[in-house]
Amino acid sequence: MSSTANTAPVLVVGNGPAGLIAALTLLRNGVPVRIIDKRDKYHAGQRGCGVQPRSLELYNLLGVPEIAKEGKLLMPMRNYGPIGSTTVVSEALMIPREEDSPAKPYANGVLLGQHHSEEIIRAHVEKCGVFVELNTELVSVEQDSEGVIARIIKNENGKKVEETVRTPFLIGADGGKGVSRKLLGLELSGISRPSDRALVGDMYIKGLDSNYWHRWGDMATKFITFRPTEFQDLWAVVLGSRDANYETLLTDREALKRFIEETTGRNDLILLEIKELNEFSPNIRMVNEFGKGRCFLVGDSAHVHSPTGGQGMNSSVQDSLNLCWKLSLVYKGLAPISLLSSYTAERVPVIQEMLQQSTKLLNRIMTAKAKDHNTAAFVSRRPKSLDQLGVNYRWSNIVVDENKPYTEQLEGGALAAYGSDGDITLRAGDRAPEAPGLAIVNAKATESDSTTSLFSIFRPTLHTALIFVADVSAAKSILDIVAKWPKGTIQTVVVLPKDADQIKLTRDKVDAIVVTDRQGHAYDAYGSVVSNGFPIVIVRPDGVIGAIVKGTDGVVKYEKGIFLSV
């Protein structure tokens, strides 16, 4: 591949969470983007409302703090007696709450309607000068060695206007039913479960206590759940029955009201408005490759699954960020196009395990009786790994771990893509932990405050080399090597222990951010590798540890796996 940088925009097809995060990541990296969507209006509805702790971290990394601020913590679920009973028989959180910690500042996920999340992300995209082109459909794709030729059709005031677009890369983010995957000839393999169907929608209802998620019955027979949303009197509703006439419930408001009253025993509930109601049954499928040539798939375009466990939208965010920091380097001529093969290599094992975990949870929910829901035993079997903080790429051929190279696999040869129980050793490919309370001791830092944190330093546009040393002079050889990286691709942070010599610090002038670990959180989080003689941790632009190494040779090895030879 030529090292010449591109100039034409990357074409993103679809403006759901996956497409918007892909676009925002590219724009943050200075890569021009064009977003098209065949719909005539933006998505509506709560849909993928669960935002896991790892996603909150990544939104923070991308400069989108509003989702954490506006989301609601998971509320307790009230489980009622037999169908038609108003008696509360149990009350519990589906996911027990945890305390935030220095290394994990978002211990608990939040609930925020997917359309609300999309509005927030889209606003950030628009601040970068890019606006979604609605009524614009992708109809064909051709590729050559230099890029993609996409034919699109715009519907302008009832007239179809055809346009041929030359783009260096195309990102398909138009969902499981979208055209991108089909045009690439990639198949969603897996199973459908039409018998596990339900009606899902959003309704304005008065009379329910919005401090609780309410459940009657069970999915094996007849059920209804009401989850409060971030909007007053708006409830996310899921309902169903083995013998219900779904077509009637979808089209006959009075029949729906009768179903609600018969199931809940509540004749005082006032159905104000049915904002959205659709039939849903889970498809559990994924493609084996997340891209072909210069075209890539993210989110539901690459994998569809049960909503149980709240993994879908969150996995989409990680898809897009994983792909787009790499694509940015290739676009600018700084990395070989072969780097993009690591997208499939890293994400496929994660999605395979995600499908297994969400399907296992679906099976348990579908067979559980009403009395089982919200019991301590039922809640405790919900895996902690669903927070996605353990999602990793330890096996990836672009990460370098001189401390503990990856060798283990799960039963059947699967990779431990969601982490291993009891394994607390920090590894290359893992999420990089947070560490607050860092005292800034030199003018290189751009923070206005005298203290900062690692999450405040990490950028989706840069690698970050963390150098844990007793004094600044010990970091010189690493700083010299890092200075040879392509300009604007890495920042360096020298992390000194809390008892570092303050007088000596003022004498050392280096091209790096220098901090002292005043509260000890950085050495707590990274100490397992630092104390073992591996003081250099390189964090990728997606907040993942790319390398844990001893010295300059390891830094050079990692660099060669990412960048074009100079």
Three-state secondary structure of 25-64: HHHHCCCCEEEECCCCCCCCCCCCCEECHHHHHHHHHCCC
**pLDDT value, residue 6:** 75
For residue 40, is it within any domain? yes
- Residue 482 sits in the same domain as residue 507: yes
Nearest Cα to 64, choosing from 114, 13, 121, 148?
A: 121
d(CA 43, CA 132): 12
Residue 233's domain is classified under what CATH number?
A: 3.30.9.10
CA 510 distance to own-chain centroid: 35
Residues in the chain where the model's pLDDT stays below 70: 1-5, 368-382, 408-414, 421-422, 443-449, 502-508, 566
- Residue 126 sits in the same domain as residue 275: no
Indicate the residue among 245, 280, 315 that finishes a domain.
280
List, for residues 231-252, the tens digit of each pLDDT value: 999 999 999 998 889 999 999 9
β-partners of residue 549 are 536
For residue 172, is it within any domain? yes
- Residue 316 sits in the same domain as residue 350: yes
**pLDDT value, residue 477:** 94
Residue 94 structure tokens: 């589906």
- Residue 266 sits in the same domain as residue 337: no
Domain count, the chain: 3
d(CA 176, CA 298): 10
Residue 84 structure tokens: 């038609």
**pLDDT value, residue 507:** 55
**pLDDT value, residue 218:** 87
**pLDDT value, residue 307:** 82
Query: Which residues neighbour 360 within 8 Å (Cβ) at sequence distance 6 or greater?
Result: none
Residue with tokens 């001189």: 402
- Residue 242 sits in the same domain as residue 309: no
List, for residues 30-64, the tens digit of each pLDDT value: 999 999 999 999 988 888 899 999 999 999 999 99
**pLDDT value, residue 282:** 86
**pLDDT value, residue 372:** 59
**pLDDT value, residue 381:** 57
Neighbours of 436 (CB within 10 A): 17
What is this structure's pTM? Answer: 0.94
- Residue 115 sits in the same domain as residue 230: no
CA 328 distance to own-chain centroid: 18
d(CA 28, CA 507): 35
Question: 514 — alpha (psi -120 to 50), left (phi > 0) or beta?
Answer: beta
- Residue 20 sits in the same domain as residue 128: yes
For residue 14, is it within any domain? yes
Query: Which residues neighbour 233 within 8 Å (Cβ) at sequence distance 6 or greater?
Result: 204, 205, 206, 210, 272
Domain span including residue 80: 75-108+197-280
Residue with tokens 């691709």: 489
- Residue 45 sits in the same domain as residue 121: yes
